[in-house]
């Protein structure tokens, strides 16, 4: 295991995983299936990895037959964030998941499995051991955005008090950086935080 991976995993309490296999049994991707296939054909490693392990369910109904709670949770979370598009939804199952919920490809599982959940905003199945931890991580992100908004207000006041062009330039650069950071969380509703 490389040092990047060690460092990454050290920030994720792996013991929280209950090894229920739910995140391998019914998952979705942030991009439509057709788009993923095109990306894989264009050598996008993320898309190649995803499609090398996940097989699409024929329909949402089929995915719901396996675990309706996971599907409904994904739908609800995407709707809350305003990112739900029914026509683009495909659900998948990993072909390596064994009947005892363990991974049949553990040594060779791709990065997306090794680093799951890769972001505090990852949608995990109901009951996933990471739920509480992800909640706090999302709160940390929200606090960062709130601090950035406060700093923007302070910078606005500072800009009103100076006419020095160099200082104004520096203020504008910092403002730009802060706004970009806030923008990163826009899809999760950062305007309202």
Q: Are 62 and 25 in contact (CB under 8 A)?
A: no
Residue 56 burial (C-beta neighbours within 10 Å; 0-12, 13-18, 19+):
middle
- Binding flag, residue 52, ligand SF4 (CB under 6 A): no
Shortest distance, position 87 Cβ to ligand SF4, whole Å: 25
Residue 66 C-alpha from the chain's centroid: 23
Q: Which of 5, 13, 19, 176 binds ligand SF4 (CB under 6 A)?
A: 19
Contacts of 17 by beta carbon, 8 Å cutoff, 6+ apart: 129, 130
- Binding flag, residue 24, ligand SF4 (CB under 6 A): yes
- Binding flag, residue 103, ligand SF4 (CB under 6 A): yes
Nearer to ligand SF4, 24 or 148 (CB): 24
Q: Which of 26, 33, 34, 36 is nearest to 72 (CA)?
A: 26
Shortest distance, position 102 Cβ to ligand SF4, whole Å: 8
Residues that bind ligand SF4 (CB under 6 A): 17-24, 53, 94, 96-97, 103, 105, 109, 113, 116, 124-125, 128-130
């Amino acid at each position: 295991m490389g040092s990047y991976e060690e460092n990454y995993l050290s920030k994720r309490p792996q013991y929280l995983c209950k090894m229920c296999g739910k995140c391998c049994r019914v998952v979705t991707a942030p991009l439509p299936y057709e788009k993923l296939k095109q990306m894989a054909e264009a050598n996008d490693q993320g898309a190649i990895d995803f499609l090398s392990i996940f097989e699409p369910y024929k329909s949402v109904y089929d995915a719901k037959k396996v675990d309706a709670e996971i599907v409904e949770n994904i739908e609800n979370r995407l709707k809350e964030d305003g990112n739900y598009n029914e026509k683009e939804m495909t659900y998948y199952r990993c072909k390596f998941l064994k009947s005892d919920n363990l991974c049949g490809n553990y040594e060779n599982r791709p990065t997306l499995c090794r680093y799951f959940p890769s972001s505090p905003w990852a949608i995990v199945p109901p009951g996933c051991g990471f739920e509480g931890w992800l909640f706090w991580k999302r709160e940390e992100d929200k606090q960062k955005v709130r601090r950035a908004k406060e700093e923007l207000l302070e910078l606005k006041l500072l800009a009103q008090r100076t006419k020095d062009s160099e200082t104004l330039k520096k203020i504008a650069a910092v403002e730009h950086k802060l706004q970009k950071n806030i923008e990163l969380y826009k899809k999760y509703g950062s305007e309202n935080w």
